[in-house]
């Protein structure tokens, strides 16, 4: 039985760390190791991590200076590289989230039954302490990496995915950026070669009541890293060009246009003085029009998305409204 390593970055989450850790300890899959990476947390988290490690032999604690989410994940990856076999598994769980007790068993079964190096499940969002549903009769689908990178099922988040350790032999997360998953997940998918999807909800993305996403949107105008998502997409385009994957290049340009519409959605509800200047002065619109002309030619794009993109091209507000009505997603 191959081992699965759970890498859990820990920073200022003493209220949620116990729930997260207990959900991993409750796994029905037996061969697990939990890697708690204390990212210089100033609260009681370092002590809580050590207490768990003293109690459970399959918990490893790494204490390090604060370096951010990517740096903490990288510390976990580098530890796993040293102790794991290539055929073992690695997964990432944010310390304020939690997982279903069958998460590891189901995700590993998906990989082994379908000859995949990566599996992805669906996730629930909310602020509950229990899963409401798991979709036990969920649809399962397998795709090559090239097919997956063209579809709409692949999520950019690295969480709610289980990887063979060998997938991350040459991959780390970029330090000092926001949207770090946008720089990383597509590389891992490509490295995996083949992946399996299930609609079963096995991961719970816990949403705080503090409105953190609204705060991020409000502070974009003063955030020097607000262009990180564009850097991520530039890197992705170059990567696909080097691999001679023109359809994936076009798909990336579609994602750029989608992200711009999403940013307009976030910004239009703010007071004018709080809005990102790039939405106000037409910078994003110029970028949208530049990518629109090529990506709109992509075959296989659902009609609803095509309509949304065309509406936004003509009049941004109408595109935002169309996106809301048609259920826009990345």
DSSP per-residue letters across 122-176: EEEEES-SS-S---TT--EEEEEHHHHTTSSS--S-SSSEEEEGGGGTT--PPTT
- DSSP helix/strand/coil, 67: coil
Dist. CA 296–CA 317, nearest whole Å: 19
Q: Please say if the pLDDT value at position 216 is more than 90.
A: no
Q: Does position 256 have pLDDT exceeding 90, yes or no? A: yes
pLDDT bucket at 327, cuts 50 / 70 / 90: low
**Least confident stretch, 109-113, 150-154, 187-191:** 150-154
* CA–centroid distance for 239 within its chain: 19
**How far is CA 254 from its chain centroid?**
18
Structure tokens that stand for 9 in this block:
């970055």
Q: Is 25 helix (H, G, I), strand (E, B) or coil?
A: helix
| Pair type for strands 89-92 and 161-164 | antiparallel
**Sign of torsion over alpha carbons 285, 298, 234, 147:** positive
Domains and CATH numbers, the chain: 4-206 (3.90.550.10), 212-326 (no CATH)
Cβ proximity of 10 and 45 under 8 Å: yes
Residue 267: partners with Cβ closer than 8 Å, 6 or more residues away: 217, 220, 275, 276, 279
* Antiparallel, parallel or unpaired: β 4-10 and 32-39: parallel
**What are 38-88's pLDDT values in tens digits?**
999 999 999 999 999 999 999 999 999 999 999 999 999 999 999 999 999
Q: What is the pTM of this model?
A: 0.89
171-215 pLDDT, tens digit each: 999 998 988 999 999 999 999 999 999 999 999 998 864 433 344
% of residues, the chain, pLDDT over 70: 84
């Amino acid at each position: 039985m191959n081992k699965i390593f759970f890498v859990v970055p820990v920073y200022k989450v003493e209220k949620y760390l116990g729930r997260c850790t207990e959900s991993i300890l409750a796994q029905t899959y037996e061969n697990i190791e939990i890697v708690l990476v204390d990212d210089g947390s100033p609260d009681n988290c370092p002590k809580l991590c050590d207490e768990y490690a003293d109690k459970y032999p399959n918990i490893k604690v790494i204490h390090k200076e604060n370096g951010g989410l990517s740096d903490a994940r990288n510390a976990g990856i580098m530890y796993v590289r040293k102790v794991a076999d290539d055929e073992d598994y690695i997964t990432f769980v944010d310390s304020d989230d939690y997982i279903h007790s069958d998460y590891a068993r189901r995700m590993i079964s998906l990989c082994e039954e379908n000859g995949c190096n990566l599996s992805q499940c669906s996730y629930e969002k909310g602020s509950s302490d229990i899963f409401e549903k798991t979709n036990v009769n969920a649809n399962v689908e397998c795709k090559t990496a090239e097919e997956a990178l063209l579809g709409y099922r692949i999520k950019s988040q690295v969480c709610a995915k289980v990887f063979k350790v060998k997938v991350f032999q040459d991959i780390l997360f970029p330090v000092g950026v926001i949207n770090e998953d946008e720089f990383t997940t597509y590389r891992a998918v490509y490295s995996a070669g083949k992946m399996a999807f299930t609609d079963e909800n096995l991961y719970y993305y816990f949403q705080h009541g503090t409105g953190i996403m609204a705060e991020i949107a409000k502070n974009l105008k003063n955030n020097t890293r607000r262009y990180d998502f564009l850097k991520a997409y530039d890197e992705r385009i170059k990567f696909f060009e080097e691999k001679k994957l023109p359809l994936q290049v076009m798909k990336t340009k579609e994602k750029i246009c989608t992200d711009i519409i999403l940013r307009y959605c976030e910004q239009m509800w703010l007071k004018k003085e709080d809005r990102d200047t790039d939405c106000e002065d037409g910078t994003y619109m110029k970028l949208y029009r530049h990518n629109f002309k090529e990506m709109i030619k992509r075959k296989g794009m659902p009609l609803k998305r095509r309509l949304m993109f065309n509406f936004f091209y003509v009049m941004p507000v109408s595109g935002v409204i169309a996106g809301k009505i048609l259920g826009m997603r990345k």
